[in-house]
Structure 1
Amino acid sequence: MVTAASERKRSVRNAVRERRAASSAAQRASDAAALGARLIELVERTGATRVSCYLPTATEPDPRAFLSWALAHGVEVLLPISLPDQALAWALHSAVPPIPGRHGILEPAGERLPVTAASTADLLLIPACAVDETGTRLGWGLGYFDRALAALDPLPPVYAVVFEADVFAELPRDPHDVPVTGTVTPASIRRFSA
């Protein structure tokens, strides 16, 4: 049964997908540099020494400048690995080139760590389709990160990494949706009220 909430989510996903696909190579490069600076700023501000992050798809906000900085500055980064049961495992970011994973997404080639390894991070930086001003995170509909976040105890602060246009006033929230602490965009860092 299609509900108003599921239809709204589908509509937002389609609009975000189209807007991101229309972004020029020059804009993507500019956004990647600015996003790297914001992610470094957040990690330095919080004093985080172990974080999670991700390897981007072609249209996601690109954190690779941050990943290079983290490797050079001794910040451990856990990167997700998609498992067949729509769960996540993690591996530490390293200089070893990533390998193609499920859904065509690059993944780290290192030793697999369980989903609960992310509970040892000081900060979780995760991709999203969109986020609203109350911390509702909209993913792409497969639930990988919702399940991963629900499995963590303790749950570190979670920041969704999106573009500025991906922050909405309000999005539908389902009972299984885990709210995020804030967002990081190429232009800003937001922390939502608790």
Structure 2
Amino acid sequence: MVDVDIGQAKSALRLQAHAARAALSPTERAEASAAVARLFFDNIKPYPEDVIAAFWPIRDELDCQPIMVRLMEANYTLVLPAVLEREQALEMRVWEQGASLYAAGFGTLAPSPLAPTVVPDVVLLPLLGFDALGTRLGYGGGYYDRTLASLPKKPKLVGLAFAAQELPLIPREPHDVALDIVITEAGVRQFGPSA
């Protein structure tokens, strides 16, 4: 059961985070995306055998394509999520260099339904907002929460965002999975026991 007060608070925070993100100019977005890519490779050291889940950016999300290109060039296994149905987990499909992408729900793209599916070791997460405790505010559909809960092992969770998306405090519900790391153009923040 959803706590009405928490639901209303999250809705208000989503509006605030949307507005902060939308206020950024195309130049600011491009510069921030390039900075986040540099910080990712300077600070996140995936193992060569790691499977990395990324996302195809929609609307005014931070563009993680520069990260995806470098990961593919370095021969990492890269997966992109596809929305199957409401209330279901996302399907993590392998994206091989040169393979076409198809509409995968909510304006995003993913590999063909015939592409293999694998469990990621590292998940790059889109988000609307984050706070100093590593709480992630998503769009409210629960797709990533369901997906992460369904995985047989917990991957490293790396939120990618603009610094303007930081919020003072996001109410955390039992199903909300905290980030391990968030990367913005302003730097890298780690959360949890190793922070």
Q: Which amino acid aligns with 1:123?
A: V
* CA displacement, residues 50-75 of structure 1 (integer Å, 9 cap, x when unaligned): 21111100211110011111111111
Q: Structure 2-normalised TM-score?
A: 0.87
Cα distance, 1:93 vs structure 2: 2.2
Equivalent residues of 1:92, 1:111 under 8 A apart = no
* CA displacement, residues 68-120 of structure 1 (integer Å, 9 cap, x when unaligned): 11111111111101111342001112222322221222222363445xx32xx
More helix per residue:
1
Cα distance, 1:192 vs structure 2: 0.6
Q: Structure 1 residues 27, 91: CA separation in 2 closer, same or farther (over 3 Å shift)?
A: same
Alignment of 1:1-194 (within 5 A): 3-43=4-44, 45-47=45-47, 49-86=50-87, 87-94=89-96, 95-109=98-112, 111-114=114-117, 117-118=118-119, 121-194=120-193
3-state SS in 2 of match to 1:39: helix
Equivalent residues of 1:89, 1:113 under 8 A apart = no
3-state SS in 2 of match to 1:36: helix
Cα distance, 1:14 vs structure 2: 0.7
Cα distance, 1:176 vs structure 2: 1.1
Cα distance, 1:138 vs structure 2: 1.2
Q: Structure 1-normalised TM-score?
A: 0.87
- The total of aligned residue pairs comes to 189
When structure 1 is superposed on structure 2, of 32-41 and 147-156 the one drifting more is 32-41
Identity %: 27
3-state SS in 2 of match to 1:183: strand
Q: Structure 1 residues 97, 26: CA separation in 2 closer, same or farther (over 3 Å shift)?
A: farther
